[in-house]
Copies of this chain bind each other. A is one copy, B any other.
Amino acid sequence: MANGSGEVVRNRQVIFRDYVSGSPEETDMEVRESALELRVPEGSNGVLVRNLYLSCDPYMRIRMRKLDVPSYRESFQPGSPIIGYGVARVLESGHPNFKKGDLIWGITGWEEYSLITEPETCFKIEHIDVPLSYYTGLLGMPGMTAYVGFFKVCSPKKGETVFISAASGAVGQLVGQFAKLVGCYVVGSAGSKEKVDLLKNKFGFDDAFNYKEELDLDATLKRYFPEGIDIYFENVGGKMLDAVLLNMKLRGRIAACGMISQYNLEQPEGICNLMNLILKQVRMEGFVVSDYYHLYLKFLETVLPQIKEGKIVYVEDIAKGLENGPAALVGLFSGHNVGKQVIMVSRE
């Protein structure tokens, strides 16, 4: 329950300065310190937490824009901390679902301490025999995104061909592993030799290529998929999507998860090959993970044993220290990260 008064601490925060156009830069954020009384305000059902890990996710770029139409996310508030997914320890709770000492994951602030005012959107972490940072990735939003995007949106069948763009990222690396577990033929694209090696040697993709070295993506895809693509897990948009549309098989499915190549453009690239949706009777479906969180426990039951048996692995790129958050976030859009980008705020 909420206390009358609490210790006052210095709270370092990563502040969002103003709406961004073009490529985000570190200077679009600034690290500030403010004072915070460590208590849940009278009458609040929030929880006060110490943030341990923060998640850098491509969708956050969308929130840096001034969004003029209501969509699935609101803009960040200039002058306030960046907000996003994180793992945190409850210091004090005004909410019956949580108590002091609990570990949770969910939407929190880019700061050392946060008052989470809608804790009912957070999940309590029950399994701590895996790295806690996994709850920003494999066992958090990106993991669920891979799971529902692949199984619910793509309806995969054994033997089908699967292509994944941004395949070594937080979501892609898992989609590929899920697809292999189903018995699909899986190819991924990424932006460096190191990432391509990871895809082939660590994540067990059947094949992978560095899209930056390919001059004609249509020809590239025809080389890897001479019979065409049944399932495309779309993370990048732009030219890759246009090339994929030329290579979809009859009744193929495209799970539209993200379009990271387009987020920094004021005017997105035009996609010319949509007629192929009709010619090949393809379904292209946008989805967001928040529609599926009721499946989270089922997801955990499926994935936790696979992690423990080594059937699913996960690569993280952990930046240490809140002050390195802006660089880590900005780096996502040039592919600087190798694997899931996480910020470690505190080891406790």
Contact = CB atoms under 8 A, between A and B. Distances in A.
Contacts of A269: 270, 272
A288 interface: yes
B278 A268 contact: no
Assembly stoichiometry (copies): 2
A262 interface: yes
A241 B274 contact: yes
Contact of A284 (B72, B272, B277, B280): B277
A285 B285 CA distance: 8
A66 to B, nearest CB: 14
B291 A278 contact: no
Interface stretch (A18-26, A204-212, A253-261): A253-261
Contacts of A278: 256-259, 286-288
A283 B284 contact: yes
Contacts of A267: 272
Contacts of A270: 269-272
Interface in A208-232: none
| Chain A contact surface mostly | loop
A258 to B, nearest CB: 7
Tier of interface size on chain A: 35 or more
Interface string A36-74: 000000000000000000000000001000000101100
Contacts of A302: none
Contacts of A172: none
A279 interface: yes
A201 interface: no
Contact of A281 (B268, B279, B283, B286): B286
Nearest to A67: B279
Which residue of A69, A72, A275 has the most chain B CB atoms within 10 A of its CB atom? Answer: A275
A325 interface: no
A3 interface: no
Contacts of A286: 276-283
Nearest to A291: B281
A287 B291 contact: no
A273 interface: yes
CB-CB nearest 9 A-B residue pairs: A270-B270, A277-B286, A278-B286, A71-B279, A283-B285, A268-B272, A271-B271, A284-B284, A256-B277
13 contacts: A62-B279, A71-B279, A72-B279, A256-B274, A256-B277, A256-B278, A258-B278, A259-B275, A268-B272, A271-B271, A278-B287, A280-B286, A283-B285
